[in-house]
Structure 1
């Protein structure tokens, strides 16, 4: 066991002890887990990329790597350790639900997480394979309104364009003009804004993670300078309440609805205990923003948000605890929403997040402007 693994294991056990010690007073009812996919091969390239003609055979472009599979399996095992008593050892569709975006690497990631959680036991052990098939649900990419929110939302685009034209952003663009020019010269890509920088950073990070040697010119800008600008790109996409509501607010609304229905006894199936969602770095960043706990960073491969819903047996108070794991090599840490305890009473949780939860996403996305032309969908 490596030092990093030891630290992680001890940290998770410590959180588990906290949960176990609270069992006399706290009854865990429902858990939502949202994770970024594991390590992948590059999705994009750039004109001067020395690996531009690489096929990454047999993995392919933008696919989950063996390292990514190992990390997500480990995440699944960690979830099993944490919720072993809560879940029991028999998988059922009533108990557990997993969903992904319609992207190979996220679908594969959730499959591996499922394998880590649900090792077949008893009569569910159907062969010598220590594995059982678990359904992974998804929405078509162009209709995704939960994890990637890729369906066209006119008001989101209009507001984002306004933010990009704001004095703050324009000044920031001017301050980074020399770096943009440097990146254009050496990468061959047109670098006009912070999203362009994020695309390049993601490619370099994926190549480095795949043990490829980066070109010498990157030493002057990677990782520090590109990382800083990439974090700003994430910040801009949830810059204000409108943007946050129309992206991360959609998933948060689903989570809140499930918590409320669990409390009222109307959640179906009634025995549901765990939801696992597989998404992207933007999924993580947008949900953290909706929870009002996003700090400037790039959510790493396998970054994970956990929301636990429980009831205090003594006071009968329902509440939410939020945990975040920045990467597979970071501990799962409890987070505190603004103006609330770490165990945030459900009513307070609803009040704190009310301004970023859409009432009717389709109506709030609508524009009557006949001149509006939607942008081409980006990524993943």
Structure 2
């Protein structure tokens, strides 16, 4: 036997072969994540059955049996003993009230401008690579609130009525929900950071005041805060001094959220290694430059999930303002149930389903954006 018959030497590169179809694409992902073992397969099948049992009736109610057009309740009543689906005709009829509340119809263009300005300033602020971030932040945090305030409430200069006054008592729907949520989110974050720094301060007075503030607001439920701000606070004010009910709610929600935000930020501050503080002090940085340039950027990056979780909780807690007589989105939907024109067995379910969809869209959007920012900002912390 010749020596060359015992082995083979390849003189050219072997052709590239595609990976087995069972390890790539959708099939590969399913094999790896859903059917990688007998136990995972059983759990996957059980999960599919549970999801089907929940989703199938929802699709049946919201889409298949739904009523999309109609002038009154007659269109949404069950026909021939059948099941009544979602009454989307009712949502269409009440949609302006769900968005604007009882805001005067001839003045809703002012609310539309506020919505448009909010989006035009928020979108570029949220995109990392858009230039002029400092100018954008100034416009969003300082200029926009002033413009929005006068647009929504009105403007009177002397005897000249530039914009008719619209009392906050007639505000409602998504407008109130966004005003409370956005104000609470924007105001509670810097206040929470200040409280977190104060709680870690070496000055006893500042530390004690911060601890008392945080523990007080964390020790009472938000519903109690709203009752106190709306009902009890006016009793302690001097005679003739009043605060707008919406302003009282905004202050209560902001202080309540700031206490929880402070604990989230404090967790991030404690996660920063001591060497970062020592390195900053070795460079000659004083307290505030050290916090602004070295410590806080790292701490806030670490607690993005906690911060966004607090924001989401605050956004959903805005529904509690109904108990003090303010009709946010959910309150406006509930008040519509008393209208006999659209009183059907499916009206309530449809209204709550619509509210759930709106809240889910906002909360899911905040959640996905936080994940995007985590992936963009992580530097060696991701596991």
TM-score normalised per structure 1: 0.27
TM-score normalised per structure 2: 0.27
More strand by share: 1
With CA pairs under 8 Å and 6+ residues apart, which has the higher RCO, 1 or 2? 1
More helix by share: 2
